[in-house]
Structure 1
Amino acid sequence: MKLSLISAISENGIIGSGLDIPWSVKGEQQIFKAMTFNHWLIVGRKTFESMGALPNRKYAVITRSQLTSNNKDILYFTSTDEALSKLATLTDHAFVSGGGEIYKSLINKADTLHISTIHKEIDGDVYFPSIPKGYQKVFEQDFSSSIDYTYRIWKKIK
């Protein structure tokens, strides 16, 4: 199964303030919507509860609690390894989409990183991990918006 990671990050590494995304950048969320449409998203429970179930997506929610769902598009797991194992039987591609602890635990396993850098220093308390060695930038595009941003794609070097 191909594993991609997708996130927007401020210049100083912030991805969140509590359960909120501490910025609103016109157009940037369109990348997330387009890339994740009809895909499985791997998210932490708090991230899932704050964003809710977006249409046309399926969720592998990581939680320490023993939760279940009657919705076939929402599965709960107690570890990222358990989620990856099950998703490998359900799909050929999944997206890691937050929060901070989930990114940290899966960034080294991702084949592709889709990172939007928000060109502003933001106050917050949830940080994105550093991009590990072994990834190469293969695409970059700048966007002018309410806050300018740059979208980059990083591929793991095989």
Structure 2
Amino acid sequence: AALALPFFAALYDIEREAQTLEAEERRRLRQSRAKPVCDALHEWMVAQRKLVSEGSAIAKALDYSLKRWEALTRYLDDGHVPIDNNWVENQIRPWAIGRANWLFADSLRAGQRAAAIMSLLRSAQLNGHEPHAYLKDVLTRLPTHRASDVATLLPHRWQPTVAVA
């Protein structure tokens, strides 16, 4: 694995340079500089695969990457596509980690309710709202809010009332 790290370091160095560019400029930079690194990495992986024993952990890791090579390098052809999905992974990590902690729900219905509340709170965060203030305001308004207007309380449309704390 240590032998592969310089390839990844080079690709991420190129991405750091590309992050301020427009999508088409980023695509051109990737094609001229990152594609040769990816091609060299692919060749190295194919060569390494021939050297490792069948069924080993390294063989499985190489097979996994080689079978998905087209998907792994798709970012080279589209300046809008990020090199990795780290942002998404970081967004869902708190929920993935907490999954085991939420087994206390005790029933499918309780689990569905917990999932709905967690989704609502996370959506509030992603829309720039402080979750406690959002939920407090929405739950305070809800009993007197018109049912036909409930969509205005969704995180992407919510406007806090004065003195929300």
TM-score by length of 2: 0.20
Scaled by the length of structure 1, what TM-score is found?
Answer: 0.20
Q: Comparing both structures, which one devotes a greater share of its residues to helix?
A: 2
**Bigger share in strand:** 1
